[in-house]
Amino acid sequence: ASMIESMGCSYVLAGHSERRVLFKDDDTAINRKVKKILESGNMGCILCIGESLEEYEAGLVGQICNIQLAKDLAGVTAEEMERVVIAYEPVWAIGTGLTCPPDVAQKVHANIRDWFVKAYGEKTAAETRIQYGGSVTPDTVKELMSQPDIDGCLVGGASLDAEKFGPIMNFQ
């Protein structure tokens, strides 16, 4: 973490879907990474959580996200949560051009916020930023950001194209 921090990074991703799938990062490894990032004292962690297409179709989204949150944030204090951002990434939408419907994304974000109320209390739940990160485009950003529990976007592929990223980055 200190090497990353020395390069000027202020946030580090943990639990990104590609790491979970391609490198078999499990929740124990992700929890260690989250804690290591927070131990730095200065850097923040963007914790990515989300479900596969099979889990989505089986109606397991809430359970999958709750399990990931509980395991990935085990031992993280409410004070440390001030430096944690949650990024909900429906794995089935990443890089596919599919976007989770905004009303469904809102339900998932509300469920995540409810988990924080139970785990950390109202204050932490209200202050925790929960971003959406599944194929955000200039065409989808307005509807996604109009949802009350979506606090921002974690942009992937669109960030590689200035014409696509500009409208997302400058959205108000």
The catalytic residues are 16, 89
List alpha helices for 41-101, DSSP H: 53-57, 61-72
Stated as kind and residue range, the H or E segment containing 84 is strand 84-88
Helices 102-120 and 61-72, interaxial angle, to 10°? 40
Residues 122, 97: Cα–Cα separation, whole Å: 35
Residues 108, 50: Cα–Cα separation, whole Å: 10
Q: Which residues contact 148 (CB under 8 A, 6 or more apart)?
A: 106, 110
Q: Please give the torsion angle defined by the CA atoms of residues 16, 19, 25 and 30, in that order, rounded to the nearest 10 degrees.
A: -30
Beginning with the edge strand found earlier in the chain, give each strand of the sheet holding 84-88 in spatial order. Answer: 11-14, 44-49, 84-88, 129-132, 152-153
